[in-house]
Amino acid sequence: MTESAIPASSEPEPQKAESKMAEPATPEMRVGQSFDIHRYSDDAERTLMLGGVRFDGHRGLAGHSDADVITHACIDALLSAAGLDDIGQMFSDTDPAWAGADSIQLLRRAVDALRAAGWDPVNVSCVAVLDSPKLAPQRELMRQRLSDAVGAPVTVSGRTTESVGALGRGEGVAAMAAALVVRNPHSTASSDDAALAGQQDQRHT
Ligand code: MG
């Protein structure tokens, strides 16, 4: 029997059962990613700050603030996820207000701006690229400081350079981060309000 010879079924199509339960609303979530890099400073007085933790006995990084490259990467990933101004616009490196600034405090301000725009951090994952110092002994402390500032879990891991390129020659430290944010269901801020909140934060700071 050929396919065309198969008689069409006279059975009615089974009706799909209609769910009596309402579908749960899918939360609006967004991801952001970032990259930051700082060269080592020639200033012997500079302190190396990574993830909000002092690494005494190591050369500090150059920058307008405390040059905490790990915290900067976390800030920019969060701002990117929420569609806000980036760290350079929010905390200009020509503004004397941020000279020598504690980057953990900048992170707190960025999270405040993010929440004002109607977003809540879900988590941040950061990877730093450097050969020295080893992050492992301070990783838990960095995780605590960053998570406390963000109000959500922040993880930090380190990767060595395999002696490749400028980072392998010990010229600086780089960090990358990814952040996830979720729309606060109780927020009245619209997407346009989100952009406005970022601009207002920039003016006020
Ligand atoms: Mg930076």
pLDDT value, residue 25: 78
Distance 70 CA to ligand 1 centre (A): 8
Judge contact between 61 and 40, C-beta under 8 A: yes
Judge contact between 29 and 181, C-beta under 8 A: yes
Distance 92 CA to ligand 1 centre (A): 11
Residue among 124, 126, 125, 133 at smallest CA distance from 61:
133
Residues 97 and 43: their CA atoms lie apart, in Å, by 21
pLDDT value, residue 200: 47
Residue with tokens 């920039």: 202
Q: What's the token pair of residue 106? A: 């900048």
Question: How many other C-beta atoms can be found within 10 angstroms of the C-beta atom of residue 170?
Answer: 14
pLDDT value, residue 203: 41
Distance 43 CA to ligand 1 centre (A): 17
Distance 39 CA to ligand 1 centre (A): 10
pLDDT value, residue 188: 83
The residues, any chain, with a CB within 8 Å of residue 22's CB and separated by 6 or more, are none
Distance 190 CA to ligand 1 centre (A): 29
Instruction: Note the pLDDT tens digit of each residue in 94-138.
Output: 999 999 999 999 999 999 999 999 999 999 999 999 999 999 999
CA 53 distance to own-chain centroid: 18
Instruction: Note the pLDDT tens digit of each residue in 38-97.
Output: 999 999 999 999 999 999 999 999 999 999 999 999 999 999 999 999 999 999 989 999
- Determine the CATH number of domain 29-204: 3.30.1330.50
Distance 67 CA to ligand 1 centre (A): 6
Residues 3 and 6: their CA atoms lie apart, in Å, by 6
Distance 93 CA to ligand 1 centre (A): 9
H or E stretch covering 144: helix 139-150
Q: How much is the mean pLDDT over the chain?
A: 87
pLDDT value, residue 14: 55
Distance 71 CA to ligand 1 centre (A): 8
